[in-house]
Amino acid sequence: MHRRRDLGGIVFVDLRDRDGIVQVAIGPGWAPAAVVTRAQGLGAESVVVVEGAVVARPPAMQNAELATGAVEVQATALTVVGAAETPPIPVARGKGEELPAEELRLRYRHLDLRRPELQANLMLRHRLLQRARRALSDLDFLEIETPILTKPTPEGARDYLVPSRVHPGEFYALPQSPQIYKQLLMVAGFDRYFQLARCFRDEDLRFDRQPEFTQIDIEAAFVGQEDVLGYVEAVLAALWSEAGHRLAAPFPRMSWRDAMERYGTDKPDLRFDFTIGDWTSHVRPLGVPFFQNALQNGARVRGIAVPGGSALSRKDVDQLAETAKAAGAPGLAWIKRQGEQVSGSVGKHFTVDAAGTLGVRDGDAALMTVGVDRVTSPALDRVRQEVIRRLAPAPKMAHALCWVVDFPLFQPDPETGRPVFSHHPFTAPHPDDVAKLDRDPFACRALHYDAVYNGHELGSGSIRITDPAVQRRIFAHLGLAPADIDERFGFLIGALAAGAPPHGGFAIGFDRVVMLLSGAGSLRDVIAFPKTTAARALFEGAPGPARAEDLAVLHVKVES
Ligand code: ASP
């Protein structure tokens, strides 16, 4: 019972199920007096069974906003089959009425899930899951489940460990992904595998991550990068079509290096044209003090020409400078051109022509900073996103998908400078760069590709290492001693030595896809029972302390 109104002796009840709402009218003309009285006492969110006749509403009483607004049910019987206590958070909301705080909604998830918006999200999720299954099965992929109690599968996060009761002091890990198992399936001859896989990563939570999440995980043998990209395009096109959108495949491609150069990020949002330019040679002769020192130290001046950017207010520009500084840049220099006038923090150094060389036309602005790429790229990425948010320019297209390819195989660890993998340690080096592996590991590209949609990463994949010797070399680069390699990954290396076909795959972050296609504001709105950003399940109250006797059986001691 969604809502009740008593009007002149007739009780109108909005009855809700997962398909929507229908109005039930309970009045003395057609319902026994006891039924009318029962309806008058009906509490919100109670579960009722109603019998009656569906009748057309009189024209003046029709409600065009409701799918069932032309009819109502005239109830002749009404039974309460599940009485509800007064709900701690309301489910029915008036127009414009705010939602209760999210913490409360997560605490009373069983009620929040009754909300039509969340019901719609989970129904879409169901349809997308079925569609993914069908698309992959039609492409001859086999759905095969892999274990949840496993050995660690490194994907760059920490493992959730599960103590073994029967083997004191030993632990299973929950899979960060089915990566190793799907490779073993290729070695075993299954050729094409997929799974709607649960993955577990214990990481510091950011707003769009959950410690457990679902991937559409695929792997195929006797394939190269082109084949895998084709499969993923087919699955994504099927998912978008299920949500009523057409995607044009093949998606455009960009190298990681280009993406970093032109967008400052490996997740470029291609809906908007303006990109980052290298303005070092234009700006150097102008003698701008803000840049001069850094330029002597080999830095570059990079910036964004913003069409219509002179509409940015002084306050906007100041806040954009704060954004750049928060990302580590020394600040943001800016110019605006209006007519023959160039103004701005470094405007006096620019003629109209000099502004023109940066691509700044009448009514535009340019925002620039200086430094090494590691500093300017993230700063200008954030500035670009913030400019898009503030100026809200018309996007070129609604759905901008692209591939980012040729990622670096390793990245320097920010603290130690040692190589850490960009994707995971099973990713094949680019064949043209294998020779650089020992000489210049950071210059080595990988057969690693990401799918990006409107500035969001949808997933990653790679062609895998199938040569056991190369796999050992990569582990050694990552700092593993030979004995460690054998202990942690010997089973995989042994399998690769048993005759491994070339293979590669991909994983689509399914929760994120549902979030983007449903228009939900958060991953928590597309997962039935999500965790908070602090990795807590507020409804059921997990994690929680374990009882001493349970810990003893597991041979675990907790130190506080
Ligand atoms: N295992 C990878 C991941 O979870 C996906 C892949 O390489 O197929 O990101």
Task: Please give the number of the atom of ligand 1 that sits closest to the Cα of 427.
Answer: 7
Please, what sign has the CA dihedral across residues 280, 258, 331, 333? positive
How large is the average pLDDT for residues 59-69?
93
Beta-carbon contacts of 3 under 8 Å, excluding residues fewer than 6 positions away, are 13, 14, 44, 92
- Return the sign of the alpha-carbon dihedral for residues 234, 236, 239, 242: negative
| 139, pLDDT greater than 90 | yes
CB distance 429 to 469 below 8 Å: no
Q: What is the pLDDT of residue 205?
A: 66
Closest ligand 1 atom number to CA of residue 177: 4
What is the rounded average pLDDT of the residues 201-215?
A: 83
Percent of the chain with pLDDT over 70: 99
Distance between CA atoms of residues 393 and 305, nearest Å? 14
Contact 399, 247 (CB under 8 A): yes
> What integer pLDDT is reported at residue 304 of this predicted model?
97
Answering whether pTM is above 0.85, one says yes
Q: Is a pLDDT exceeding 90 seen at residue 293?
A: no
Q: Which helix (H) or strand (E) holds 333?
A: strand 333-338
Tell me the pLDDT band of 206, cut-offs 50, 70 and 90: low
Low-confidence winner among 269-278, 284-293, 390-399 (lowest mean pLDDT): 284-293
User: Which residue type is seen at 211?
Assistant: P
Q: Provide mean pLDDT across the span 279-285.
A: 94
Q: Is the CB of 177 under 6 A from ligand 1?
A: yes
**Residue 397 above 90 pLDDT?**
yes
CA distance 263 to 255: 12
Atom of ligand 1 at shortest range from CA of 505: 8
Place 154 in a pLDDT band, splitting at 50, 70 and 90: confident
pLDDT above 90 (res 294) = no
pLDDT at position 208, please?
62
| pLDDT exceeds cutoff 70 at 125 | yes
Atom of ligand 1 minimally distant from the CA of 179: 1
Strand locations in 357-510 (E):
365-371, 401-405, 410-412, 419-421, 448-453, 456-463, 503-509
The answer, yes or no, to whether any atom of ligand 1 lies below 6 A from the CB of 419, is no
Distance 53 CA to ligand 1 centre (A): 55
Residue 85 confidence (pLDDT) above 90? yes
Nearest Cα residue to atom 1 of ligand 1? 179
User: What percent of the chain shows pLDDT beyond 90?
Assistant: 91
Mean pLDDT of the region 179-201: 98
Confidence tier at 253 by pLDDT (50, 70, 90): very high
Q: Is 183 in the pocket of ligand 1 (CB under 6 A)?
A: no
Q: Does ligand 1 come within 6 angstroms of the Cβ of 228?
A: no
The per-residue pLDDT of the chain, averaged, comes to 95
Phi-psi region of 502 (alpha: psi -120 to 50; beta: other; left: phi over 0): beta
Ligand 1 centroid distance, CA of 489 (Å): 17
Q: Is 131 exposed, middle or buried (0-12, 13-18, 19+ CB in 10 A)?
A: middle
Nearest of 227, 231, 217 to residue 135 by alpha carbon: 231
Q: How far apart are alpha carbons 43 and 39 in whole angstroms?
A: 9
Atom of ligand 1 nearest to the CA of 199: 4
| Residue 153 in this model has a pLDDT that exceeds 90 | no
Q: How confident is the model at residue 560 (pLDDT cuts 50, 70, 90)?
A: confident
Distance 460 CA to ligand 1 centre (A): 6
Phi-psi region at 10: left, alpha or beta (left = phi > 0; alpha = psi -120 to 50): beta
462 lines ligand 1 (CB under 6 A): yes
* Range scoring the smallest mean pLDDT among 92-96, 235-239, 446-450, 498-502: 92-96
Question: Could you tell me the distance, in angstroms and rounded to a whole number, from the CA of residue 266 to the centre of ligand 1?
Answer: 16
Residue 217 has pLDDT above 60, yes or no: yes
pLDDT of residue 53: 98
pLDDT in tens, 100-111: 999 999 999 999
Of all protein residues, the one whose alpha carbon is nearest to atom 3 of ligand 1 is 507
Residue 457 CA to ligand 1 center (angstroms) comes to 13
Whether residue 156 is predicted with pLDDT greater than 90 in this model: the reply is: no
Mean predicted confidence (pLDDT) in 481-485: 96
Contact 135, 238 (CB under 8 A): yes
pLDDT tens for residues 299-326?
999 999 999 999 999 999 999 999 999 9
Say if ligand 1 is within 6 A of residue 460 CB: yes
Nearest-CA residue for atom 7 of ligand 1: 461
Give yes or no for residue 207 having a pLDDT over 60.
no
Asked whether the CA dihedral 213, 216, 217, 223 is positive or negative, the reply is negative
User: How far does the centroid of ligand 1 lie from the alpha carbon of residue 508, in Å?
Assistant: 8
pLDDT at residue 336 above 60? yes
Average pLDDT over residues 320-349: 95
